[in-house]
Amino acid sequence: MSGGDNDVVLIKGNKRLDGRGFDELRDIKMEVSVLERAEGSAYIEWGKNRVIVGVYGPRELHPKFLQDPTRAMLRCVYNLAPFSVDERKKPGPDRRSVEISKVCAEALSSVVMLERFPNTVIDVYVEVLQADAGTRCAGLTAASLALADAGIPMKDLVAACSAGKVQGQIVVDLMKEEDNFGQCDLPMAIIPRKSEVVLLQMDGKLSRDEFKQAYKMAVDGCMKVYEMQKNTLLGSMNKFVGVEGGVENGD
């Protein structure tokens, strides 16, 4: 986020660089059970973002002094692959990935019924294979699918989406050029059933009215993502029990 670059044209008429309207999300595809050795997994394509998530556990937490007899610990590791961005990223954790791992773990901890698994740890690995802005939202969305895929009891899914300001206009789901040269990015995640916000970060500046508008756009985006998540899980369940398109498959 540069604070707004006036030389870069991001909006022409009522369309954005990639032809989207202001309230339009990028194309999103989701899939679960994509990894054999993980308890649960998910893969998401969100615009040009490609993110895979593996969930391991609940398993006994070591070293033992970290164990909590009242609840499980949920750990999250967000990793941007060196080849996922234009300018090769140095492998390993950095300030940004530590921050994103922390906010994702906190958001997911608010839906997982951790008290059901005392003394254990649930590990969530978010691997970004290709990045084009909004990777924390894509990662969180896929992570909650992977947790559900692992059969870990949850109060609801976490659905995420960002909104922001580009060339003075409030838009949803910023892509990389908009993130780089826009004026503000507001990634959010919610627990849809409780209308509870579990992640809200802001990079840039918005007036009070702009914030209200962006907040609403991000929540509307989260609700669209939530519908896709539910359909993905339902599709995977139907495949498992041999139901195709609502009709029982005899073989």
CA–CA distances in Å: residue 223 to residues 2, 60, 215: 29, 35, 12
Quick check: 121 binds ligand CDP (CB under 6 A)? no
Q: Which stretch binds ligand CDP (CB under 6 A): 129-137, 213-221, 225-233, 243-251?
A: 129-137
Q: How do beta strands 203-204 and 120-130 pair? A: unpaired
Quick check: 127 binds ligand CDP (CB under 6 A)? no
Nearest to 108, CA basis, from 79, 145, 71, 81:
145
Quick check: 132 binds ligand CDP (CB under 6 A)? yes
Quick check: 165 binds ligand CDP (CB under 6 A)? no
Q: Which stretch binds ligand CDP (CB under 6 A): 11-19, 78-86, 113-121, 234-242?
A: 78-86
Count of residues in contact with ligand CDP, rule CB under 6 A:
15
Quick check: 135 binds ligand CDP (CB under 6 A)? yes
Contact 195, 147 (CB under 8 A): no
Quick check: 176 binds ligand CDP (CB under 6 A)? yes
> Which sign does the torsion angle of CA 78, 79, 84, 88 carry?
positive
CB contact burial 124-138 (16+ within 10 A = b; e otherwise): bbbbbbbbbbbbbbb
Nearest to 55, CA basis, from 144, 116, 154:
144
Tokens at 124, concatenated: 């969530």
Reduced to 3 states (helix: H, G, I; strand: E, B; else coil), residue 61 is coil
Least Å distance, CB 118 to ligand CDP, is: 33
β-bridge mates for residue 79, sequence order: 127
Contact 198, 191 (CB under 8 A): yes
Quick check: 184 binds ligand CDP (CB under 6 A)? no
- Closer residue to ligand CDP in complex, CB, 25/243: 25
- Closer residue to ligand CDP in complex, CB, 121/128: 128
In the shown chain, the binding pattern of residues 2 to 41 toward ligand CDP, with x for contact by CB under 6 A and - for none, equals ----------------------------------------
Options 96, 102, 193, 212; binder of ligand CDP; rule CB under 6 A:
96
Quick check: 230 binds ligand CDP (CB under 6 A)? no
Residues that bind ligand CDP (CB under 6 A): 80, 85-86, 89, 96, 131-136, 176, 179, 185, 187
